Structure 1
Amino acid sequence: MENNYRQTAAEIVEALGGKDNIRTATHCATRLRLVLNNEKAIDTNHLEAIDLVKGHFNNAGQFQIILGTGVVNGVYNEFKDITGIEEANKDDVKKAAEDNLNPVQKIVKNLADVFVPILPALVASGLMMGLNNVLTAEGLFVAGQSVIDLYPQIADLANMLNLFSNAAFTFLPILIGYSSANIFGATPVLGAVIGAIMVHPELLNGYGYGEAVATDSVPYWNILELSVAKVGYQGTVLPVIGSTYILSLIEKNLRKVVPNILDIIVTPLVSVLVTAFLTFTVIGPLLRTVGDWMTNVVLWLFNDLGAIGGAIYGVIYPILVITGMHHSLAATEIQILANIETLGGSPTFAVVSVSNVCQGAAALAMFFLMKHDEKVRSIAPASGLSALLGITEPALFGINLRYR
Structure 2
Amino acid sequence: MEPMKIAQAVLAHLGGRDNLESAAHCATRLRLVVKDMTLVNVAAIENLDDVKGCFTTDGQFQIILGSGVVNKVYRHMTSEGEIQAATTSEVKRAAMKKLNPLQRLARTMSNVFVPIIPAIVASGLMMGTLGMAKTFQWVNGDSGLFMVMDMFANTAFVFLPVLVAFSAAKEFDANPFLAAALGGIMIHPALQNAWTLGGGIEKTIEVFGVSIGMVGYQGTVLPVLFAVWVMGGVERTVRRFVPNALDIIVTPFTTIVLTGLITLAAIGPAGRFLGNGISTTLALVYDQAGLLAGLLFGGLYSTIVITGVHHSFHAFEAELIKNVGRNFLLPIWSMANVAQGGAALAVYFKTRDEKIKAIAIPAATSCLLGITEAAIFGVNLRLGRPFIAAAIGGALGGAYVVFMKVGMTAVGLTGIPGLSIVQPASALHYLIGMALAFGGAFASVCLLGFKDANAEKETENERNLSA
- Aligned partner of residue 235 in structure 1, secondary structure: coil
Give the one of 240, 259, 269 matched to 2:253. 269
Higher relative contact order structure (alpha carbons within 8 Å, sequence separation ≥ 6): 2
Matched, 1:348 2:329: yes
Matched, 1:196 2:187: no
Q: By how many angstroms is 1:274 displaced?
A: 0.8
| Counterpart in the other structure of 1:157 | 145
Q: By how many angstroms is 1:185 displaced?
A: 1.7
| Counterpart in the other structure of 2:363 | 383
Give the one of 232, 256, 268 matched to 1:248. 232
Q: How far, CA to CA, are the matches of 2:29 and 2:39 in structure 1?
A: 20
> In structure 1, what residue type is equivalent to 2:368?
L
Give the one of 20, 23, 26 matched to 1:25. 23
Q: How far, CA to CA, are the matches of 1:17 and 1:160 in structure 2?
A: 59
| Counterpart in the other structure of 2:67 | 69
| Counterpart in the other structure of 2:155 | 167
Pairing of 1:205-220 with structure 2 (within 5 A): 205-212=193-200, 218-220=202-204
Q: What RMSD over aligned residues (CA atoms) do the two structures have, in Å?
A: 2.0
- Aligned partner of residue 65 in structure 1, secondary structure: strand
TM-score with structure 1 length normalisation? 0.89
Q: By how many angstroms is 1:93 displaced?
A: 2.0
Matched, 1:147 2:138: yes
| Unmatched segments (≥5 aa) in structure 1 | 141-145
Matched, 1:338 2:322: yes
| Counterpart in the other structure of 1:318 | 302
Matched, 1:92 2:73: no
| Counterpart in the other structure of 1:365 | 346
Pairing of 1:31-110 with structure 2 (within 5 A): 31-110=29-108
> In structure 2, what residue type is equivalent to 1:279?
T
- Aligned partner of residue 21 in structure 2, secondary structure: strand
Q: How far, CA to CA, are the matches of 1:296 and 1:155 in structure 2?
A: 36
Extract structure 1 runs of 4+ deviating beyond 6 A: none
Q: How far, CA to CA, are the matches of 1:387 and 1:399 in structure 2?
A: 12
Q: How far, CA to CA, are the matches of 2:57 and 2:16 in structure 1?
A: 21
TM-score with structure 2 length normalisation? 0.78
| Unmatched segments (≥5 aa) in structure 2 | 385-467
Q: How far, CA to CA, are the matches of 1:295 and 1:317 in structure 2?
A: 19
**2:33–2:60 contact (8 Å) kept in structure 1:** yes
Q: How far, CA to CA, are the matches of 1:205 and 1:310 in structure 2?
A: 34
> In structure 2, what residue type is equivalent to 1:44?
V
Give the one of 165, 170, 173 matched to 1:177. 165
**2:210–2:265 contact (8 Å) kept in structure 1:** no
Q: How far, CA to CA, are the matches of 1:265 and 1:69 in structure 2?
A: 47
**2:124–2:153 contact (8 Å) kept in structure 1:** yes
| Counterpart in the other structure of 1:143 | none
Matched, 1:394 2:374: yes
> In structure 2, what residue type is equivalent to 1:54?
K
Q: By how many angstroms is 1:218 displaced?
A: 4.6
**1:131–1:161 contact (8 Å) kept in structure 2:** no
**2:318–2:327 contact (8 Å) kept in structure 1:** no
Aligned residues: 384
Identity of aligned residues (%): 41
Q: How far, CA to CA, are the matches of 2:282 and 2:344 in structure 1?
A: 28
**2:52–2:374 contact (8 Å) kept in structure 1:** no
**More moved, 318-327 vs 92-101:** 92-101
Q: Against the structure 1 CA distance between its residues 128 and 15, is the aligned structure 2 distance closer, same or farther, given a 3 Å change threshold?
A: same
Q: By how many angstroms is 1:381 displaced?
A: 1.4
Q: By how many angstroms is 1:210 displaced?
A: 4.1
**2:191–2:214 contact (8 Å) kept in structure 1:** yes
> In structure 2, what residue type is equivalent to 1:299?
A
**1:173–1:195 contact (8 Å) kept in structure 2:** yes
Q: By how many angstroms is 1:347 displaced?
A: 1.7
Q: How far, CA to CA, are the matches of 1:332 and 1:219 in structure 2?
A: 28
Q: Against the structure 1 CA distance between its residues 9 and 277, is the aligned structure 2 distance closer, same or farther, given a 3 Å change threshold?
A: same
